[in-house]
Amino acid sequence: MSTSPSDPDVAADYYDGRSARVHPVVLRLAGDRLEIVGADVDRSEPLAGLRVSEPMGAAPRLLKLPDGAHCEVRDHAGFAALLAAGGHRDGWVVRLQGRWLWAVLAVVLSAAAVTAGYRWGLPAAAEWLAYRMPERMLIQLGGGSLLMLDRAVFTPSKLPKARQQGLADKFAGLAAPGDRRPLYRIVHRDGGRVGANAFALPDGTIVLTDQLAALAADDREILAVLAHELGHLDHRHSLRMLIQSSVVGLVVAWYAGDVGNIAASLPTLLLETGYSRDFEREADAYATAMLEANGLSPALLGDMLARLEAAHRGEAGKGDGPFGYLSSHPATRERIESLHGTAP
């Protein structure tokens, strides 16, 4: 095949791949081959074997030959017309390589989005989800967690039934802040190695250990702890923490209709990982509002926290492990001071 007269020549610089010497050449199409012709160059290469760089601004396009030689082409328009006339198409790999900058940028942006999602999006999504979970699931989660704890650490409460009822009546007699009181029920357990502790499960169960009841100087301090736990329930903290820590597993479990395995991770989260400072502050604020609404001092909660801290510091000396009210209540000192500061 010969070059048709309508195919214009395109000027280029040829490098043989061995020396830095420039050879001015012209490129011209000859059927499915490209002719590269200059004073001391005369090559004919099949178009299919050539690799052509993507146009990048005004930079010359590179035409790479299989033997390592290459041409630099500054006449973008002429070269593009020549390639089009020859039916040349870059392979997808070549196109992708030409866009490596975009690929890197996409990876960086994706990583940033995932990080931002984890830091801000996930807590927001967890909160949204926590208030939309079906009741049946909350009961499963709460029941499953308590069952785990009963098997692993708790034994039945030795607190007399009359005393349990007395505490329940006193707490029921307190007005809740705001216009609604979260559903709750108080259960008593001998805490075993967990010791003096209290926490709320997603179904509204507030667990109070005998050791905590024994530690309180006054029933009003127990009421203050219950108010704090009611605050955790009002904000659905245990559920939100659970969602944040096991979002993938929870969605799968929700879909499968069985959250039993997820419930198993809640005791560890509550007793060892603990709530964030923000969650504790929210529960303290709720307790403060509730205590004040009933003519009680928020310092009662501060006093109880100080008592718990002292008790668990003693236990830590005995190597009692990471369990305890304090590990689930970080920055206790700061909170005690704040609760006393808000005392009337």
Region of 57 please: left (phi>0), alpha (psi -120 to 50) or beta: left
Q: How far is the CB of 146 from Zn ion (least distance, A)?
A: 17
Dump strand ranges (E) for the chain.
10-15, 23-30, 33-38, 42-46, 51-52, 61-64, 70-73, 155-156, 185-190, 198-200, 205-209
Q: How far is the CB of 277 from Zn ion (least distance, A)?
A: 10
Instruction: Give CA–CA dist 327/195, Å, rounded.
Output: 12
Point out which span in 8-16, 69-77, 145-153, 273-281 binds Zn ion (CB under 5 A).
273-281
Q: How far is the CB of 248 from Zn ion (least distance, A)?
A: 26
224 interacts with Zn ion by CB under 5 A:
no
241 interacts with Zn ion by CB under 5 A:
no
Q: How far is the CB of 215 from Zn ion (least distance, A)?
A: 16
308 interacts with Zn ion by CB under 5 A:
no
Point out which span in 121-129, 155-163, 184-192, 279-287 binds Zn ion (CB under 5 A).
279-287
* 3-class DSSP state of 256: helix
**Residue closer to Zn ion, measured from CB, 233 or 283:** 283
CA 326 to chain centre: 25
**Residue closer to Zn ion, measured from CB, 157 or 332:** 332
Q: Give the angle 7-10-14 at the CA atoms, nearest 5°.
A: 135
**Residue closer to Zn ion, measured from CB, 148 or 198:** 198
DSSP character string of 130-191 = HTTS-HHHHHHHHHHHHHHHHHHT-EE--S-HHHHHHHHHHHHTSPPSSS-----EEEEEE-
**Residue closer to Zn ion, measured from CB, 138 or 227:** 227
Residue nearest Zn ion (C-beta atom): 283
The tokens for 116 are 């931002």
Region of 52 please: left (phi>0), alpha (psi -120 to 50) or beta: beta
Q: How far is the CB of 235 from Zn ion (least distance, A)?
A: 10
Point out which span in 95-103, 206-214, 251-259, 274-282 binds Zn ion (CB under 5 A).
274-282
Point out which span in 103-111, 161-169, 282-290, 310-318 binds Zn ion (CB under 5 A).
282-290
The count of chain residues that interact with Zn ion, using the rule CB under 5 A, is: 2
Task: Select the residue interacting with Zn ion from 208, 266, 269, 283 (CB under 5 A).
Answer: 283
**Residue closer to Zn ion, measured from CB, 86 or 191:** 191
2 with 71: CB under 8 angstroms?
no
Contacting residues toward Zn ion, per CB under 5 A: 280, 283
